[in-house]
Each structure stands twice: as C-alpha cells, then as structure tokens.
Amino acid sequence: MSSMVQSATIPAELAQERRLVTEIPGPKSRELHARRGAAVARGVSSTLPIYVSRAAGGVVVDVDGNSLIDFGAGIAVVSVGNSAPRVAAAVQEQVAAFTHTCFMVAPYEGYVAVCEQLNRLTPGDHAKRSILLNSGAEAIENAVKIARAYTKRQAVVAFDHGYHGRTNLTMALTAKAMPYKSGFGPFAPEIYRLPMAYPFRWPTGSERCGEEAPAAIIGAIEKQVGAEQVAAVVIEPIQGEGGFVVPPSGFLARLAEFCRERGIVFIADEIQTGFCRTGDWFACEHEGVVPDLIATAKAIAGGLPLAAVTGRAEIMDSVHVGGLGGTFGGNPVACAASLGAIRTMEELDLTRRAVWIGETMLPRLRRLQERHPAIGDVRGRGAMVAVELVRPGTKEPDPEVTTALAAACHRRGLLTLTAGTFSNVLRFLPPLVIPEHLLNEGLGVLGEAFASVDQGR
C-alpha cells in the first residue's frame, strides 16, 4: 500500500527524508522573519517560523535546505500531500482556461461537479444540496443562516472546547478566549454553550461520561434554552483545536436523535475531521450519525481555499433565491483542485491509509505513556491523534511541558502542532500519504523529545 501511495503522490525529485543542515530556524528563515516583522501584522502567528520553499508527501523543505517531517499537514489540509499530482494538473489546466467569473454572475461546471461529489460522499442517502464558500468559518456562518431560515428560530447551541472559526458569529461559537476572542467583542447573541462529553475530564470519571453528558446537555436545552427556541446544535464529531476530544460512542447519536425529536437542525462541523482524516470519509459515519447539515473545508481541495455546506434538500432550499453566496465562493481553480483531491482520496483509498496511520501511532504513543507519566491521555481516531500532558500523578494541565516538547520536536526536524483549551495537547495530523519510514522516524523523534525534556527537569 505504502509504495503505491508514494509513486502516485510524491514527485521523485523531492527526497522523503529528515535532513537538517542548519539550526532550526536557519539563517535565511531568520532573515525572512525579520522582514516579516516590519511588514506583516503581529496578530498572525506561526507555530514554527521556518520559511518554506517546497513540500510534498511527508516533508516540508525550508529556504535553508532543511527537510522536516510533517506531522501537521497545514492543519489537516494537505491530506493528499502538498502539490498532489492530480491537484496540480487540474489547477494548471483550469488557471489557463479561466480564473473567475463569479458563480453568481456566470456559472461553470466545476462548482456543480464539486456539489455533486459532496452530496454523494457525505453521510445519508436522502436528497441533498450544497453551497461552496471560501473558509471554514464562512461555512459555519452559512450553516447557521440556513438553519435559522428553515426553523424560523434563533438560538444556537455550541459546546465547551468547541472551535468554529474567527469571524464574529464563529468567535461567539468558539469556546477559548485567548487568543481567539479576547478583546474582539461584542459577540453575536443567542449562542448557548453547554458542557462537552470529554471523557478524560468528565467530573465523575470517564466511565460515567457517556451516560451523564447527553442527559446534562438535553436537560439544559429543555430547561434553560428552551428546545423550541433552538435553530441548531453545532458540534465537531471529534473536537480539533479544543484538544482532539473524542466523545464516548453513542453520544453523538443520542444528541442527533434529540435534535430530530425537537425539530432542531443538527450541524456537524467536519471541517477538521472530514475527507478521510479519521478513517472514514466523515467522522460522523463511525458513529452511524447522519447530520442535517455538514460543514467542510480544510482537506476539501488539496490545499486551495474552499469550503462547503451540504445538507438535506428541504433545509438547504428553504432559503430565498439570492439569500446565499459571495464573490469568490466556489472559485473555479479551487473547484478543479477539489475534484483532483477527491479523486486522489478514492484512488489511493486514503480512508484505509488513515486507519493504518492510527493503528501505527496509537500503540507507540501508549508505550511512550508507560515511560512518561506526563502523558495523561492518548486518544484519537485514524490519522487524528493526540497526547494530553499533565503534571505526573494528577490531571492538572501542563502547558509548559507541552511547549517544551513541541520545541524539542521542532529542533530535531519534526513539525508538530499543539492544541487544547489548556494548551496542553500535542496533536498529530500527518498527511495521509506520508511514507511509512517517515511516520516511524517521526515517532522515534517524539520519543527523543520526551527523553530530552525529562532530562531537563
């Protein structure tokens, strides 16, 4: 499986190896970083300021010639790898034909074809419609607009540790104040935040979470929000920025069932979990849940900006003509890229590959947990995997050790990301086409990082 994936996705001239030729970041990256300081707004930060010159398969190469193993995939975007051949070819052909007419002015086939694919691939065999947009936040904004228009209700329920974007409405839906919300209010009204089924941190213990969480949430919607006021429940089937929180099995199904009984639109935010990442096309499938609306973005177009809302035809079509849209939404080049990315996922069977990545990573991380008591929890599904770091013997979050571990990985040429409401989660999102030897080497580097941080304490 591995060699087939490699030959179909990775240009032969870009060596799939970890290779450090300078310190990280190197002198050319530091020079660019200084230039950036005088030109780019400070509010945009970078996890690791190496400036990129090329990337493909499982590596990112910087301007100093360092080649790093990629455990981030640009935040779960380049699941098919950077510049995947089908994506690059489709983009080149489209960009030479025409770059933009605006779908609201003069339409084109690519937009329709992407919507057909979304309607086919998302859970459920009911009649569906889709709309294309530019970003995940914009998809969530539109899903809420559509749910409100359909139900003629206003309230929206979101969850602790949830992340839905940085626009005004999505900031209101997002849980974490710093850095996403602090100083940026006032926020949109009629948003109600309820507890999340977070097994590791459920107050009465993880075993009781599956039973108690739905009861607590449904009780709060009935008694505090008023179920008949609620247009939509918005939830990530596995939370991303909040720390890769995997709810107990059956939780999502119970919530979706309650929404159906009470005429509430169930919106799955699959922006991070979608497109093969968790070992299914969409994470809801693992739980047998069919959302009313599903928001997608990130991996949808192999690295080009594109997002979508897909859902039940009667809900999607309840909006008046002209009520939805945007200048760039469903740009023809992004649509061509998406068709190339989807075809790559099917041809290379990337759901199966995501399962294999999880089966490789989770046991290795559990063995690491036996040696390092700072690892409080190992969790994830498919190629969406994380460790939560605590002060040994407690559940107290340890953001300092998390930062130190990420830095130790970066110094050794492994690009990792952090997450979590308490900034104490190391998360791993390798491109689904990462070669086997790099996945194993990356896990080895992680072990070295743990050993070095232990020694430093």
Ligand X SMILES: *Cc1c(COP(=O)(O)O)cnc(C)c1O
136 binds ligand X (CB under 6 A): yes
Q: Cβ of residue 136: shortest distance to ligand X, in angstroms? A: 2
Q: Dig out the tokens for 31 from the structure.
A: 């020079």
Total residues belonging to the chain:
457
Query: Residue 318 burial by CB count (10 A; 0-12/13-18/19+): exposed, middle or buried?
Result: middle
The tokens for 93 are 């052909």
Shortest Å, Cβ 264 to ligand X: 20
Residue 271 lies near ligand X (rule: CB under 6 A) = yes
Q: Long-range contact list for 46-49, CB < 8 A, 24+ apart? A: 47/72, 47/406, 47/415, 47/417, 47/418, 48/24, 48/410, 48/415, 49/25
**Residue 135 found at the interface with ligand X (CB under 6 A):** yes
Q: Whose Cβ is closer to ligand X: residue 290's or residue 299's?
A: 299
Burial 249-262 (b: 16+ CB within 10 A, else e): eebbebbbebbeee
Q: Which is nearer to ligand X, 259 or 301 (CB)?
A: 301
When asked if residue 272 is in the footprint of ligand X (CB under 6 A), the reply is yes
Radius of gyration of the chain (CA): 22
Q: Look at residues 246, 250, 279, 296 and name the one whose alpha carbon lies nearest to residue 122.
A: 296
Cβ of residue 137: shortest distance to ligand X, in angstroms? 3
The answer to whether residue 269 forms part of the interface with ligand X (CB under 6 A) is yes
What residues numbered 286-315 form the site for ligand X, per CB under 6 A? Answer: 297-298
In the complex, what is the shortest distance from the CB of residue 284 to ligand X, in angstroms, rounded to a whole number? 13
Nearer to ligand X, 133 or 408 (CB): 133
**Least distance from ligand X to the Cβ atom of residue 287, Å:** 16
Please state, as a whole number, how many other Cβ atoms lie within 10 Å of the Cβ of residue 435. 21
Q: Using CB under 6 A, which of the segments 23-31, 267-275, 329-337, 358-366 binds ligand X?
A: 267-275
Structure tokens at 406: 């990420």
User: Burial of 42 by CB count in 10 Å (0-12 exposed, 13-18 middle, 19+ buried)?
Assistant: exposed
Smallest separation, CB 141 to ligand X (Å): 9
- Cβ partners under 8 Å of residue 170, min gap 6: 137, 140, 141, 164
Q: Which is nearer to ligand X, 143 or 408 (CB)?
A: 143
CB of 123 to ligand X, least distance (A): 17
Q: What minimum distance in Å lies between the beta carbon of 290 and ligand X?
A: 19
Sequence-distant (6+) residues with CB within 8 A of 266 are: 232, 233, 235, 255, 256, 259, 260, 289, 291, 292, 293
**In whole angstroms, how far apart are CA 43 and each of 37, 51, 138, 409?**
11, 18, 20, 24
Our CB check for ligand X shows the closer of 428 and 450 to be 428
- Write the DSSP symbol of residue 397: B
> For residues 297 and 386, which CB has a smaller minimum distance to ligand X in the complex?
297
Which residues lie across from 388 on neighbouring strands? 377, 425
Least distance from C-beta 362 to ligand X, angstroms? 21
Please tell me whether residue 9 binds ligand X under the rule CB under 6 A.
no
Per rule CB under 6 A, is residue 236 in the interface with ligand X? yes
**Count of residues binding ligand X (CB under 6 A)?**
14
Work out how close the CB of 412 gets to ligand X at its nearest, in angstroms, rounded to a whole number. Answer: 27
Residue closer to ligand X, measured from CB, 50 or 175: 175
Indicate the residue whose CB is closest to ligand X. 136
Sheet of 52-56, strand order: 52-56, 59-62, 67-70, 414-415
Q: Which residue has the tokens 């960009």?
A: 95
Stretch that binds ligand X, among 143-151, 269-277, 324-332, 388-396 (CB under 6 A): 269-277
Which of the ranges 115-123, 132-140, 201-209, 343-351 carries the binding residues for ligand X, by CB under 6 A? 132-140
Among 24, 50, 137, 406, interactor with ligand X by CB under 6 A? 137
Prior bond of 27 cis (ω within 30°)? no
Buried b (16+ CB within 10 A) or exposed e, 71-86: bbbbbbbbbbbbbbbb
Amino acid letter, 308: A
Per-residue binding string, ligand X, 150-189, x by CB under 6 A, is: -------------xxx------------------------
Choose between 302 and 435: whose C-beta lies nearer to ligand X: 302
Q: Which is nearer to ligand X, 133 or 453 (CB)?
A: 133
Decide whether 90 or 169 has the Cβ nearer to ligand X: 169
**Site residues (CB under 6 A) for ligand X?**
135-137, 140, 163-165, 236, 240, 269, 271-272, 297-298
